[in-house]
Amino acid sequence: MSAQKKKAFQIEAFKHRVVVDPKYAEKTWKILEHAIHEIYNHNASGLSFEELYRNAYNMVLHKFGEKLYSGLVTTMTSHLKAISSSIEAAQGGLFLDELNRKWAEHNKAMQMIRDILMYMDRTFIPNTHKTPVHELGLNLWRDVVIHSSAVQTRLQAILLENVRRERSGEVIDRGLMRSISKMLMDLGPSVYQDDFEKHFLEVSADFYRLESQDFIESCDCGEYLKKAERRLNEEIERVSHYLDAKSEVKITNVVEKEMIENHMHRLVQMENSGLVNMIVDEKYEDLGRMYCLFRRVPNGLVLVRDVMTSYIRDTGKQLVTDPERLKDPVDFVQHLLDLKDKYDKIITSAFSNDKTFQNALNSSFEYFMNLNSRSPEFISLFVDDKLRKGLRGVTEEDVELVLDKVMMLFRYLQEKDVFEKYYKQHLAKRLLSGKTVSEDAERSLIVKLKTECGYQFTSKLEGMFTDMKTSQDTMQGFSARHGADIADGPMLSVQVLTTGSWPTQPITTCNLPAEIRGMCEKFRNYYLGTHTGRRLSWQTNMGTADLKATFGKGQKHELNVSTYQMCVLMLFNNADRLSYKEIEQPTEIPASDLKRCLQSLACVKGKNVLRKEPMSKDIADTDTFLFNDKFTSKFFKVKIGTVAAQRESEPENQETRQRVEEDRKPQIEAAIVRIMKARRVLDHNNIVAEVTKQLQSRFLPNPVVIKKRIESLIEREFLERDKGDRKLYRYLA
């Protein structure tokens, strides 16, 4: 059949190539129109491509392009109208299927038509600026089928309904959904957006607004976040399965806004399950989820961070100001460390190590630790405790770990010089009583302090170690020289301390027992003999002594006591009963120290080598003391603790503070002079700012004090006020 037709046409075309038959165009078009019908009816297999192509070619060549084009538009439109009505006729669920099938058919037909009319596409269309065949096909499909009133609304409704069904857990034909959304995209992004995406986002917003309302009323925070996360993932998955990739950002924005942003304050502050509760209960998973979700919305993390910060500050403040806690400094610091560990863990495991959170944590710690002016003292006490006994039998790495943690707390301190002061005292006590567990650990900590605060900070501490070393050598020399004369007397061990390196304490002399005094004289002579031009003075308040004592039933004990206690006990060699006055006069121990040492000798259970009359906790000037010959102890060696290295009492604390203040003055002055030497002229505010900056690593100077120091420097003519501007200072050299 096709051969016959082809033949008939051949003759016609050939004949009329030159002489244009008025009917030629009409006839040729009919053939092409017929072919288009056949293509839409799936009957294309019999058609000759060459023939159709040649006809279209000739039409264009003979200036019938316009006719060909408009004919194409008309024919295609009429076909699409038929298709459109057949789609409209499709029942319920079949609608999408039908639409999808017709779309596939149309696509195929479009390609065939384009191939046949390629010559037109190539020459006629560009010249006349018409729409190319393929695009024309898409446009017609859009206008005739998708935008036909019946299809448009129905398509939209069905798509949204499918999404809704899927959200509520039903299974839908995702492949079909993908084809349809791809079709909308093929028709142009604007078609996809206007006909589907826009409505999709609106409906989703409504859906999630309602759902989040519902959830927030019925769930706790953790559960809510779990649900929100799941919804978010579902939407992302949905987009990847059957929507355009560009929709992902938009739909996630909707979910984020409706489910998180709109409720974030409520979520964070939710009673019994909000952020604070998560922190308290250490719900890392929930916290991590909160972090991930809140990161997506503007200001989400800021909110989380603020709430966390204020919580840390509040609890920290409670901790450092709780009078119960202040009773035990070691426990206090341990609590701080535990707290820090806890937050560190939260930040690393749940907040993905967010720098801003770390900073917030650090600033919170800095804030509340400095609320308590005794923090420096307590940290030093904690270290003291660790280095005395806490670190015994612990591996080197663990020691380092503890020390590093302490250093971390130390970094938060504003008054580092106060810490230094206490640390020096505590270190001195440790060194002199030989109580330090590990010299390596001591040195390691000093190295850490040095890297943190510089050479200046630790030079004196290092000097203390050097003194201990040289004292050992000195004692060896001493016993080598005098070994024979002193063999049967008491043993003496002297530590020579450089003035300035060690914490200065007012020299409170006491009268040593005669036996000891003789030894001391010998040592003094020996020492001054080898080192000329030095002065030795005895720090009796810092020494210790081991005494051998025999009690009532003949049992022997070795008593480890302080120098003061030794002086007191030696008196009982000659008497069994002494009044307070009788003790005070020969020893000349300062009253407060004497009372303390008597207290530990007479009032501590298990260590009461003396008896007191009347029996009471406190020592009064009228008390009488007796040798307790009924004293017993399980141990041969009895350590009678002085009330040492404990937290300072209130007046002592005041005193230390005053000393620290005094020490600060020269430092502030030095800083002012350094700055002025460099700047020559500077106004008051800038000096204060610079000084504060320079001294920050040690303490936070008080502006009033700085002002006073400036005045003092002016008096001493280091500086002068500018004659014109009273706020300006000049450096005088």
Partner 1 sequence: MKKEDTVKLISAEGMEFVIDKEAAMVSQTIRNMLTSPGGFAEAEHGEVTFPEISAVILEKICQYFYWSLQYSRGKETEFHIEPELTLELMMAANYLHT
- CA dist 185 to 12, 53, 121, 341, 716, Å? 45, 31, 23, 53, 85
Nearer Cβ to partner 1, position 45 or 149? Answer: 45
- Mark the segment that binds partner 1 (CB under 8 A) among 38-46, 522-530, 532-540, 596-604: 38-46
Do the Cβ atoms of 733 and 720 come closer than 8 Å?
no
Question: Site for partner 1 (CB under 8 A): which residue of 8, 21, 37, 50?
Answer: 50
Query: How many whole angstroms separate alpha carbon 470 and alpha carbon 479?
Result: 14
Minimum distance of partner 1 from residue 58's CB (angstroms)? 9
Residue that has been written with the tokens 């706790």 in this structure: 220
Do the Cβ atoms of 87 and 105 come closer than 8 Å?
no
For the beta carbon of residue 597, count every other beta carbon within 10 angstroms. 26
Query: How many whole angstroms separate alpha carbon 561 and alpha carbon 543?
Result: 9
Stretch (H or E) spanning 639? strand 637-639
- Give the list of residues 6+ apart from residue 443 with CB closer than 8 angstroms, or none: 465
**With binding defined as CB under 8 A, does residue 10 bind partner 1?**
yes
Nearer Cβ to partner 1, position 44 or 350? Answer: 44
**With binding defined as CB under 8 A, does residue 45 bind partner 1?**
yes
Helices 247-255 and 198-218 cross at an angle (nearest 10°) of: 30
Query: How many whole angstroms separate alpha carbon 9 and alpha carbon 51?
Result: 9
Amino acid at 684: H
Do the Cβ atoms of 634 and 316 come closer than 8 Å?
no
Q: Number of residues interacting with partner 1: please give it, by CB under 8 A.
A: 27
- Mark the segment that binds partner 1 (CB under 8 A) among 89-97, 117-125, 484-492, 597-605: 117-125
**With binding defined as CB under 8 A, does residue 109 bind partner 1?**
yes
- Mark the segment that binds partner 1 (CB under 8 A) among 107-115, 290-298, 467-475, 487-495: 107-115
- Mark the segment that binds partner 1 (CB under 8 A) among 9-17, 302-310, 403-411, 606-614: 9-17
Question: Site for partner 1 (CB under 8 A): which residue of 29, 32, 55, 57?
Answer: 57
Minimum distance of partner 1 from residue 69's CB (angstroms)? 19
Question: Helix H segments across 16-93?
Answer: 24-40, 49-61, 65-89
Question: Site for partner 1 (CB under 8 A): which residue of 80, 112, 437, 695?
Answer: 112
**With binding defined as CB under 8 A, does residue 24 bind partner 1?**
no
Q: Residue 25 has which token pair?
A: 């165009």
**With binding defined as CB under 8 A, does residue 108 bind partner 1?**
yes
Query: How many whole angstroms separate alpha carbon 379 and alpha carbon 20?
Result: 109
Minimum distance of partner 1 from residue 13's CB (angstroms)? 7
348 to 367, contacts with partner 1 by CB under 8 A?
none
User: Distance between alpha carbon 175 and the CA centroid of its chain, in Å?
Assistant: 45
Across 402-552, where does the E strand assignment appear? 544-550
Query: How many whole angstroms separate alpha carbon 105 and alpha carbon 92?
Result: 21
- Give the list of residues 6+ apart from residue 31 with CB closer than 8 angstroms, or none: 9, 51, 52, 55
Nearer Cβ to partner 1, position 49 or 555? Answer: 49
- Give the list of residues 6+ apart from residue 422 with CB closer than 8 angstroms, or none: 376, 377, 380, 381, 656
SS3 labels along 402-435: HHHHHHHHHHHCCCHHHHHHHHHHHHHHHHHCCC
Q: CA torsion, points 94, 95, 101, 102, in degrees to nearest 10? A: 140
Query: How many whole angstroms separate alpha carbon 192 and alpha carbon 159?
Result: 12
Question: Site for partner 1 (CB under 8 A): which residue of 16, 33, 48, 463?
Answer: 48
- Mark the segment that binds partner 1 (CB under 8 A) among 6-14, 458-466, 522-530, 561-569: 6-14
Query: How many whole angstroms separate alpha carbon 564 and alpha carbon 591?
Result: 11
Nearer Cβ to partner 1, position 50 or 322? Answer: 50
Nearer Cβ to partner 1, position 8 or 528? Answer: 8
Minimum distance of partner 1 from residue 119's CB (angstroms)? 8
Question: Site for partner 1 (CB under 8 A): which residue of 47, 350, 431, 512?
Answer: 47
- Mark the segment that binds partner 1 (CB under 8 A) among 23-31, 105-113, 571-579, 670-678: 105-113
**With binding defined as CB under 8 A, does residue 252 bind partner 1?**
no
Minimum distance of partner 1 from residue 17's CB (angstroms)? 8
Question: Site for partner 1 (CB under 8 A): which residue of 27, 81, 111, 571?
Answer: 111
Query: Which positions from 121 to 160 touch partner 1 by CB under 8 A, shown as an x/- string?
Result: -x--------------------------------------
Strands 544-550 and 624-627: unpaired
**With binding defined as CB under 8 A, does residue 6 bind partner 1?**
yes
Query: Which positions from 255 to 274 touch partner 1 by CB under 8 A, shown as an x/- string?
Result: --------------------
**With binding defined as CB under 8 A, does residue 39 bind partner 1?**
yes
Stretch (H or E) spanning 565? helix 563-571
Minimum distance of partner 1 from residue 48's CB (angstroms)? 5
Minimum distance of partner 1 from residue 177's CB (angstroms)? 25
DSSP symbol at 545: E
Nearer Cβ to partner 1, position 52 or 710? Answer: 52
Nearer Cβ to partner 1, position 25 or 597? Answer: 25
209 to 238, contacts with partner 1 by CB under 8 A?
none
Do the Cβ atoms of 225 and 267 come closer than 8 Å?
yes
Nearer Cβ to partner 1, position 54 or 250? Answer: 54
Residue that has been written with the tokens 């259970």 in this structure: 605
Nearer Cβ to partner 1, position 48 or 436? Answer: 48
**With binding defined as CB under 8 A, does residue 46 bind partner 1?**
yes
Minimum distance of partner 1 from residue 42's CB (angstroms)? 8
For the beta carbon of residue 252, count every other beta carbon within 10 angstroms. 17
DSSP symbol at 325: G
Which residues form the interface with partner 1 (CB under 8 A)?
A: 2, 6, 10, 13-14, 17, 39, 42, 44-50, 53-54, 57, 108-109, 111-112, 115-116, 118-119, 122
